[in-house]
């Protein structure tokens, strides 16, 4: 397959987010269908126009065949139906699969819809078990380390290699809150300081509670369709210009490096398909499950030299009005983190920015966006390049 085979063949024409945060009594599958219906309506389409469906099987309310179950409940009989799971990268790999199906002529209009209720849909025991399930069953899990402890290992290695400080990590969380304060739907909109991050409870040294993402309920959806149809719909199309993935390992103990990730490969592949460079980007969305992850992605995706992201972030560069605003909705640290579907909010925010409708937080003259997600403990990486125009 040629590196530019999907470039501008498919556009995003509808998006929707549900409410996020603590939603008592909520159900992940109800939220999934709510988001799907709203995204289809946003595109000016009817459910009968949808001939492809991609979903994620929620932890809080799984089905054996989730996408088929959602189609059944909505009265759909799609030509393409898929349930995906590659950790936090799920959302973007799903978009690539959907785009490939459209480009191949297998279907014409695909909805990607995901939701979960990690805050209200799990008991405390279930939540603890989920956190403890990370790691190789023979070489890692027996030590009882939760997800945060694995990321703490990465953080310590990165800090030792490049002299990054706890204050620089904390600046990522502060920036996220500054962005979330400008988004009316964000879960945590209260101001935050570096001192408050450092004073929060230690979870896994050096990661404090406020270095860690939220735990949330919520969901989102988007509609993709073929190029020849996109301009005739209600919303201005946002074009998929590039996509790339990178997968180096499953378990952290197999990683050859704790300070360089497969975001290097996924970013380079996405930019090559789109014919752009990181420096061309107006909008950037990164997977900020823990603060050090943002620094690693900034470097591995080509926005900073290796070891330079700590000072870059501490300067205010990724905050509102900075040189490179990152996660203008607040990210997983401040907007919401409902598990694997959470990166979909990063994508719907990028579309909102490229449409020019991000009221109160709009990046002026936004033309190009790079969004990135990852799954596992820095294991699977997926990068998308989006554009307001069909050519970058």
State residue 138's pLDDT score: 65
State residue 234's pLDDT score: 92
Residue with tokens 């799903």: 94
Tokens found for residue 10: 């498919």
Residue with tokens 């950790």: 87
- Does the pLDDT at position 330 exceed 80? yes
CA distance 140 to 156: 17
Query: pLDDT grade, residue 1 (50/70/90)?
Result: very low
CA distance 108 to 53: 11
Q: Which of 280, 286, 207, 252 is nearest to 377 (CA)?
A: 252
CA distance 326 to 62: 32
Please compute Rg for the chain using Cα positions.
Answer: 19
Task: Give tens-digit pLDDT for 176-188.
Answer: 999 999 999 999 9
Please give the average per-residue pLDDT across 274-295, as a whole number.
97
| Mean pLDDT, rounded, of the chain | 93
State residue 322's pLDDT score: 96
Task: Give tens-digit pLDDT for 344-357.
Answer: 999 999 999 999 99
Rounded to 10 deg, the angle between the 291-300 and 166-180 helix axes is 90
DSSP labels, 252-266: GGG-S-SS--THHHH
Cβ neighbours of residue 173 closer than 8 Å, sequence gap 6 or more: 192, 197, 210, 211, 291, 333, 334
Tokens found for residue 340: 């694997």
Question: Residue 53: is the preceding peptide bond cis (ω within 30°)?
Answer: no
Q: Which of 254, 257, 303 is nearest to 279 (CA)?
A: 303
- Does the pLDDT at position 139 exceed 70? no
State residue 4's pLDDT score: 60
CA distance 104 to 16: 26
What domains, with CATH codes, occur in the chain? 10-122+214-387 (3.40.47.10)
- Does the pLDDT at position 218 exceed 90? yes
């Amino acid at each position: 397959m040629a590196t530019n085979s999907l470039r501008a063949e498919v556009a995003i024409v509808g998006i929707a987010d549900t409410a996020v945060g603590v939603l008592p009594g909520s159900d992940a599958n109800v939220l999934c269908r709510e988001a799907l219906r709203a995204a289809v309506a946003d595109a000016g389409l009817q459910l009968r126009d949808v001939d492809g469906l991609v979903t994620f099987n929620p932890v809080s309310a799984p089905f054996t065949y989730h996408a088929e179950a959602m189609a059944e409940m909505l009265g759909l009989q799609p030509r393409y139906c898929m349930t995906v799971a590659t950790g936090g990268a799920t959302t973007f790999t799903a978009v690539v699969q959907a785009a490939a199906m459209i480009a191949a002529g297998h279907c014409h209009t695909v909805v990607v819809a995901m939701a979960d209720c990690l805050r209200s849909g799990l008991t405390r025991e279930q939540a603890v078990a989920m956190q403890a399930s990370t790691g190789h069953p023979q070489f890692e899990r027996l030590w009882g380390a939760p997800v945060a402890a694995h990321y703490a290992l990465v953080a310590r290695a990165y800090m030792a290699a490049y002299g990054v400080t706890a204050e620089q990590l904390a600046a990522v969380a502060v920036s996220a809150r500054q962005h979330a304060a400008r988004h009316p739907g964000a879960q945590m909109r209260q101001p935050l300081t570096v001192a408050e991050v450092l004073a929060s409870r230690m979870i896994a040294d050096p990661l404090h509670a406020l270095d860690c993402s939220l735990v949330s309920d919520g969901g989102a959806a988007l509609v993709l369709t073929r190029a020849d149809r996109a301009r005739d719909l209600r919303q201005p199309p946002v074009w998929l210009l590039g996509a790339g993935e990178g997968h180096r390992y499953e378990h952290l103990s197999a990683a050859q490096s704790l300070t360089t990730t497969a975001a290097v490969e996924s970013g380079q592949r996405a930019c090559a398909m789109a014919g752009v460079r990181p420096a061309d980007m107006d909008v950037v969305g990164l997977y900020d499950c823990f603060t050090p992850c943002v620094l690693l992605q900034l470097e591995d995706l080509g926005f900073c030299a290796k070891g330079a992201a700590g000072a870059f972030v501490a300067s205010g560069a990724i905050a509102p009005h900075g040189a490179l605003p990152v996660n203008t909705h607040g990210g997983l640290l401040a907007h919401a983190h409902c598990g694997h579907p959470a990166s979909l909010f990063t994508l719907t925010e990028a579309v909102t920015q490229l449409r020019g409708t991000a009221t109160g937080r709009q990046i002026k003259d936004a033309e190009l966006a790079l969004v990135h997600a990852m799954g596992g403990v820095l294991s699977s990486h997926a990068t998308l390049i989006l554009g307001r125009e069909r050519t970058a």
